[in-house]
Copies of this chain bind each other. A is one copy, B any other.
Amino acid sequence: MASHPRIAILGGTGKEGSGLALRWARAGYPIAIGSRDPERARHTVERLRPLASSAELVGLSNAEAAAWGTVVVIAVPYEGHAAILQALRDTLARKLIVDIVVPLDPNNPRRYAPPPDGSATAEAQRILGPEAPVVGAFHNISYLHLHNLGETPECDVLVVGDHHEAKAQVIALAEAIGFTAYDAGPLANAPIVEGLTAVLIGLNMRYKARGVGIRITGIPGKKQEPVQTNRS
């Protein structure tokens, strides 16, 4: 993988997608924000640009962004998850797909509501087929931490999927913006890692907190120093 692949974020106008865009842009990655409405994508780009002045940052339709990126992050609301993957299946072949979507009960965001495939990540892998390696990651990172640039997020990234090389690339992308990231196992573990988001949302509510996260303990060698991502 080139040291700075182009990263397209479908649904990149949302809180989580735009937060990742901001962090990667500040770390020097070329970024496309994708949206159903390219005008909204450009609006998000203008909002982020002062915080990432030196970066290549463009606003496109989701289809244009998918074609543009070599890494494509799926950050749409779960309701549109299967539809966008089906629509862009050919465009996404042979790209590295990073799925950050968590299917939650629309009536209760503390409740994980996986699709029949078992997880959103597995649903994406089934729809895209073996030609597009799908990696689930970043589910447990609160958008609050991504947008608060004064903060190194105190939350680790758990990466799941059946493609080892793809997982290694996503771990490197997470570490490039200051996270400690772990290979959390095969696609079969995606329900656990996605579901943990519902547990964390419940902890936020129950303990009147914001941005609750998790840290993995007991792997001292993996602990990295906070990375300064502000390049402006």
Contacts and interface: CB of A to CB of B under 8 A. Distances in A.
Interface of A: 110-112, 142, 154-155, 158, 182-185, 188-189, 191-193, 195-196, 198-199, 202-204, 206-207, 209-219, 221-222
Given A207-B222, A213-B217, A192 B198 contact: yes
B188 A191 contact: no
27 contacts: A112-B189, A154-B217, A154-B218, A182-B203, A183-B203, A184-B199, A184-B202, A185-B199, A185-B206, A189-B198, A191-B191, A191-B192, A191-B195, A192-B196, A193-B199, A195-B195, A203-B216, A207-B219, A207-B221, A207-B222, A210-B218, A211-B218, A212-B217, A214-B214, A214-B215, A214-B216, A214-B217
Contacts of A154: 217-218
A219 B209 contact: yes
Contacts of A210: 218
Contact of A192 (B112, B182, B204, B213): B112
A192 B184 contact: no
Contacts of A218: 142, 154-155, 204, 209-213
B202 A185 contact: yes
Contacts of A183: 203, 206
Nearest to A142: B218
A214 to B, nearest CB: 5
